[in-house]
Amino acid sequence: MTLALALPAGRSRPRRARGVLGPVGWTALVLVAAMVLLAALAPWLAPYPVDQQDLLHPYAGPSPAHWLGTDATGRDILSRLLWGARTSLGGPALVVALSLAVGLPTGLLAAWRGGLVDAALARVLDVVFAVPGILIAVLAVAVFEPGLTPAVLALAVAYLPYVARTTRAAARAQRDLPYVEALELQGMGGLRICVRHILPNILGVVLAQVPVAFALALVDLASLSFLGLAVQAPAADWGVLISDTSALLQGHPEQAVYAGLAIVTTVVALTFLGDRLTEGRPVARARKEKR
């Protein structure tokens, strides 16, 4: 007689950080995803073209034809909000992507080389860090011309120190671990150790900062558009929608309120998401180590 025991197939894998998000984190993630989806699908979802005027029906209230009403020139506010989401979310995404693209290598270089290189990079980053992002953007716009591109580039520079510093701190902690020294002693080059071993081990920590950086960049860019320095008026950016003062003076704050709500919702969701990601991490680590 033989006794067969069923063994679970495959190796046991440590649980991913999924459980870390919690209900709050998940709600935030769904909200952010929904915003991104709405922005991406704006051309198909928006009931009207972004700049189609209807001068006979200015400041129309909510109706089946215009769910959120119309603005001073009879443009559909819902359509403008959806279209506006594209620059309002795309801009900060570019800012974060650019600052990651430059900040990750910079932070890794500083951590790997240490010494003079590290000190020099730290000083430069400190200087950039000390100047408010908005101010850098205002200067960039003054030198070039108002528009989304200079504003995005300027904010990317302003956000660079956040990414570079986080990366440097995390990579510095890995740098002196025996596994890195063992690879050095095996004759592996610094670039390969950084890219193949250190970067994957610190990426989670750095990427956990992304939602909050994204939220800050969103507010900064909207503020610049509000001031007329980034996205320009006929286009429908959330910042531009808020800055429509004629509507406000006429006693019609709806458009500004809707755009403001969109910004606040996204920023709050991103903040909670970032909070969950950064808070959850050490717990996940500790749990993993215990196994």
Q: Contact positions toward other proteins, by CB under 8 A?
A: 11-14, 177-179, 181-189, 197, 200-201, 288-289, 291
> Residue 74: which region, alpha, beta or left (left: phi > 0; alpha: psi -120 to 50)?
left
Q: Which is nearer to other proteins, 51 or 181 (CB)?
A: 181
Q: Which is nearer to other proteins, 204 or 260 (CB)?
A: 204
Q: Which is nearer to other proteins, 90 or 190 (CB)?
A: 190
Minimum gap (Å) between residue 189 Cβ and other proteins: 6
Distance separating alpha carbons of residues 240 and 276, to the nearest angstrom? 31
Distance separating alpha carbons of residues 269 and 218, to the nearest angstrom? 12
Minimum gap (Å) between residue 281 Cβ and other proteins: 14
Q: Which is nearer to other proteins, 186 or 245 (CB)?
A: 186
Residue 77 CA: distances (Å) to CA of 12, 107, 272: 52, 43, 28
Q: Which of 52, 37, 133 is nearest to 85 (CA)?
A: 37
CA-CA-CA-CA torsion sign (82, 86, 87, 88): positive
Q: Which is nearer to other proteins, 61 or 189 (CB)?
A: 189
Tokens (6 digits) for 21: 């998000």
CA-CA-CA-CA torsion sign (239, 240, 241, 243): positive
Three-class SS state of 75? coil
Distance separating alpha carbons of residues 88 and 266, to the nearest angstrom? 10
Three-class SS state of 132? coil
Minimum gap (Å) between residue 214 Cβ and other proteins: 26
Under a CB-based contact definition with an 8 Å cutoff, are residues 39 and 262 in contact? Answer: no
Three-class SS state of 262? helix
Minimum gap (Å) between residue 181 Cβ and other proteins: 6
Q: Which residues contact 232 (CB under 8 A, 6 or more apart)?
A: 146, 147, 240
Distance separating alpha carbons of residues 122 and 110, to the nearest angstrom? 8
Q: Which is nearer to other proteins, 34 or 177 (CB)?
A: 177
Q: Which is nearer to other proteins, 1 or 185 (CB)?
A: 185
Minimum gap (Å) between residue 171 Cβ and other proteins: 14
Minimum gap (Å) between residue 182 Cβ and other proteins: 6
Minimum gap (Å) between residue 199 Cβ and other proteins: 10
Minimum gap (Å) between residue 110 Cβ and other proteins: 19
Q: Which is nearer to other proteins, 18 or 288 (CB)?
A: 288
CA-CA-CA-CA torsion sign (30, 31, 34, 35): negative
